[in-house]
Structure 1
Amino acid sequence: MPSETTAAQVPAQSADPARIHNIGYRNYDGARLGRAYARRSLFAQSLRGAYGLGRSAKSKVLPMLLFAVMCLPAGIVVAVAVFTKAKDLPLEYTRYALYLQAVIGLYLAAQSPQSVSRDLRFKTVPLYFSRPIERADYVVSKLAAMASALFILTAAPLLVLYAGALLAELDFADQTKGFAQGLVSVALLSVLFAGIGLVVAALTPRRGFCVAAVIAVLTISYGAVSTVQAIAYEQGNFDTVGWLGLFSPITLIDGVQTRFLGADSAFPGGYGPPSALAGVVYLAVVLGLIAGSYALLMRRYRKVGL
């Protein structure tokens, strides 16, 4: 008899349309930090990653080595100035990054794939956009982190030069002015190079291809422009020397700092932009490349974020 009662109850229980089970989940009652916190976190994580912090020991070797290589010549210059009791530094602040552009290019080529190519290769980009973060937040955070990493790389040796100049008791006003000009120059260089490097890196998830492409963009353009400038200089086309600088990232920075920061040009014969109008064109091209890099990154991440 009890078995018959149980059997009769089974259909009634299984037909129950609404049965709620409490399995222990609780609502989140903490603070909701939102997009601003997500942007800051992504920026900090990307900046740390650019120097291998928070990653394996092997990942720290190359960026730290390149950082040391950037600072070493500054230390040598300071030592020479102190021991020879020179009245001025043998190297201008605005020239330092131009002379060590190969180191800067190698750093950019090595770290820009780490910043964005890994996310593309492992298809983690949609996971970012599933959080309270938008494509513009991702692009701005990555671009700001790479520019900041490059600024640290290029400004640190200038700080060494400045500290050494004060130690050598060189003129405070002149050294402060030169140091400030150098900081402005490398800040502009950092933003420009970061935009170019990330655009190239975002085009392919393959790290090897990205490294080669970034080096090619920076090296081939500079080599071609320098060669044609030298030919134009030998033929006496001095204005042409100044205009040709528009076709390479590093010569663009040279032209801007020559016209607006009072720096001496590294172009053949010291011929920078031939006029004030040319200087404005140089600055407009630099700003246009930065804005164009941002636009291309936004366009790229509209597709890969789907």
Structure 2
Amino acid sequence: MSTETAPRGASIHNIGYRHYDGPRLGRAYARRSLFSQSLRGAYGLGRSAKSKVLPMILFAVMCLPALIIVAVAVYMKTGRLPLEYTRYALYLQAVIGLYVASQAPQSVSRDLRFKTVPLYFSRPIKSADYVAAKFAAMTSALFILTAAPLLILYVGALLAKLDFAEQTKGFAQGLVSVALLSLLFAGIGLVIAAVTPRRGFGVAAVIAVLTISYAATGVIQGIAFNQDNTDAISWFGLFSPITLIDGVQTAFLGATSNFPGGYGPDAGTGAVYLLVVLGLIAGSYGLLTRRYRKVGL
């Protein structure tokens, strides 16, 4: 304690602050830490028990049908799996949509609501690092959600002694499909969630966009099918995220289309689907980057 040349009644205290002389890990370490924290948070790890309930339930719901399919294939000694790898995520799209709606706002809306984003940027981390970490974490979380049941199917198929080459090819095609799906859904979910600091609004908006777009596309495709306008069915699939993935895997991954009558896109139309998917992913990333440049101010 020191009282050198202080005003009457005042004192100066030495509370022991020292400069940090250790290694400075920099932006790369901060970016990796933010990615790890965001990925763990997407499954409630490191958070309260209440935060773990929904993502873990959704993960279990995603894997349960795969376990049942494997059990049936092993017990019945069938010559093939009753469900293609590429179709699994399409049948469980509601679970995937609910996961995106619940976890994308959790990833970004809370930082906006409590105004912690400028605190991130006061460190070596920049807005581009924040966006890259959040986008990669949400994509990875979705890939884990969608790829885990495919792995269960693949292991089960090998245990059932199904053809190794055929199952490996199907499994690889399924992984490519869910990787694209994860990138697309992560981008859309994060862009919508980053618009508002209110988590509830973000959840409702993500559900609305994914549900309404799919329902409207299905109705329009159904009308086109009933009117024998089969050429239009594949083009209408461009207006919904899940039908975009359906179209890409039908055209390039040997999948069977879920479109009415099975009228999926051919290779030419499929190229348009792929360009739209890649454009939406890049556009979502660009919008997030632009959004957080403004928020950082």
Instruction: Note whether the superposition's TM-score is higher than 0.5.
Output: yes
Partner Cα separation in structure 2 for residue 109 and residue 22 of structure 1: 51
Structure 2: 5+ residue stretches without partners: none
Equivalent position of 1:27 in the other structure:
19
Shift of 1:22: 6.6
**Among residues 147, 164, 169, which one is paired with 2:156 in the alignment?**
164
**1:305 alignment partner AA:** G
SS of equivalent to 1:228: helix
Match of 1:128 among 106, 120, 145: 120
Q: How does 1:29-48 map to 2 (within 5 A)?
A: 29-48=21-40
Contact 2:73 2:80 in 1 (8 A): yes
Q: How far, CA to CA, are the matches of 1:215 and 1:145 in structure 2?
A: 20
**2:209 equivalent to 1:206:** no
Partner of 1:3: none
- The AA in structure 2 aligned to 1:286 is V
Amino acid at match of 2:257: S
Counterpart residue number, 1:287: 278
Corresponding residue to 1:236 among 228, 234, 241:
228
Describe the superposition over 1:165-223 as per-residue Cα deviations: whole angstroms up to 9, x where unpaired: 00100000000000000000000000100000000000001111111100010000000
Report the TM-score when normalising by structure 1.
0.92
User: Structure 1 counterpart of 2:251, which letter?
Assistant: R
1:53-92 aligned within 5 A: 53-92=45-84
- 1:276 alignment counterpart: 267
Shift of 1:21: 9.0
Q: Which residue of 2 aligns with 1:221?
A: 213
Q: Structure 1 residues 160, 27: CA separation in 2 closer, same or farther (over 3 Å shift)?
A: same
- 1:26 deviation in Å? 2.3
1:183 matches 2:170: no
Q: What SS does structure 2 have at the residue aligned with 1:91?
A: coil
* Residues 142 and 14 of structure 1: CA distance in aligned 2, closer, same or farther (over 3 Å): closer
The one-letter amino acid of 2:22's match is G
1:80-127 Cα deviation digits (max 9, x unpaired):
111111000000000000000000000110001110000000000000
1:263 alignment counterpart? 255
Question: Which whole-Å CA distance do the structure 1 matches of 2:268 and 2:121 have between them?
Answer: 43
User: Greater Rg, structure 1 or structure 2?
Assistant: 1
Q: 1:22, 1:120 → 2: CA distance?
A: 37
Q: CA RMSD in A?
A: 1.4
Number of aligned residues: 289
Q: Give the CA deviation at 1:227.
A: 0.8
Unmatched 5+ stretches in structure 1: 1-12
**Shift in Å, 1:23:** 5.7
Tell me the CA shift for residue 29 of structure 1: 1.4
The change in CA–CA distance for 1:89 and 1:25 in structure 2 (over 3 A counts) is same
Letter in 2 for 1:154: T
- Measured in 2, the distance between the counterparts of 1:205 and 1:56 equals 21
Q: Secondary structure at the match of 2:77?
A: coil
**Residue in 2 aligned with 1:109?**
101
- Deviations 1:203-248, CA, capped at 9 Å, x for gaps: 0011111111000100000000011101101111111001111000
Contact 2:101-2:202 at 8 Å conserved across structures = yes
CA distance in 2, matches of 1:206, 1:25: 39
Instruction: State the distance in 2 between where 1:151 and 1:25 align.
Output: 45
Once residues 218 and 23 of structure 1 are traced to their aligned partners in structure 2, the CA distance between those partners, rounded to angstroms, is 55
Mapped to 1, the partners of 2:289 and 2:259 lie a distance apart of 35
Question: After alignment, is 232-241 or 20-29 more displaced?
Answer: 20-29
Instruction: Provide the C-alpha distance between the structure 2 equivalents of 1:33 and 1:208, rounded to a whole number of angstroms.
Output: 36
Whether the 8 Å CA contact 2:104–2:138 is kept in 1: the answer is yes
The residue type paired with residue 282 of structure 2 is A
